[in-house]
Amino acid sequence: MNSRRKIFITTIVGVMAILLIAPWNIVTGDNGDSLECNPTGIWTARNSRGDDGEEQMAWVEMVAEEKNGVSAVIMKNLNPDPTLYGMFPDVTTRSDSVGQWIRTGPDTWDHTYIGYGTTGTHDPGHGDVVWMMVYKGTITATDSDTIVAGGRAEIYSGCDDPNHPVFGEIHDQDTDPRDGFPDADEEPIFSTDFEVTEARMPMLPPTWGE
């Protein structure tokens, strides 16, 4: 193995180790030491099954290294329902959600995410952005490997539709400015509160060679 490849592999292993096994930082202040939860890493979750045993939403979150109290986040839905339980029957693609956590205490954060539902890009041209979903709320670390996120999920329209099968006449709620986020004076066409629990992805011992 040449030296460049060895350095590259060593770097990748080191980054993964930091992401997966460094949940707590010691922060020293004027009043002594306190524990501050480090959210950097990978978090996983699955909602409980429905009353008839049907699978519900499952997802993973990748939280980047915190800088000045802010952590960038990507949330990937593992089993997406682009129609949002049939509310948008023409939607075929659901994007990942992107967001930020802003630290408000040693083990608490405010969060905002946004994701999109589109008609897809299987045909020539760009698909329509049909809905935008904004998550906003708070996060609390109950221990070094568990977080509880709560807040509200808000759905906004990304296009004009005078005859929507669920909501009737709706309009594009991202026009001024057209920046991929609902305009400040717009109200969601649907919203619901939520509370979910996520677990930090564990670092498992290697088993090869046994």
Q: Where are the domains of the chain?
A: 3-200
Q: Please state the rounded mean pLDDT for residues 78-85.
A: 94
Structure-token match 């568990």, residue found: 146
- pTM for this predicted structure: 0.80
Is the pLDDT at 162 greater than 80, yes or no? yes
Residue 36: predicted pLDDT: 82
Structure-token match 């992401």, residue found: 19
Burial class (CB in 10 A: 0-12, 13-18, 19+), 133: buried
Residue 90: predicted pLDDT: 93
pLDDT band at 30 (very low <50, low <70, confident <90, very high): very low
Residue 28: predicted pLDDT: 34
Encoding tokens for residue 95?
Answer: 């994007």
Residue 63: CB partners within 8 Å, gap ≥ 6?
A: 39, 40, 41, 42, 43, 71, 72, 73, 101
- CATH code linked to domain 3-200: 2.40.128.30
Query: Which has the closest alpha carbon to 84: 62, 112, 116, 54?
Result: 116
For residue 11, is it left (φ>0), alpha (ψ between -120 and 50) or beta?
Answer: alpha
Amino acid at 143: D
- Report the Cα–Cα distance between both ends of the chain, in Å, rounded: 24
Residue 121: predicted pLDDT: 66
Cα(83)–Cα(174) distance, integer angstroms: 20
Residue 178: predicted pLDDT: 94
Q: What stretch of H or E contains 63?
A: strand 58-63
- pLDDT greater at residue 35 or residue 26: 35
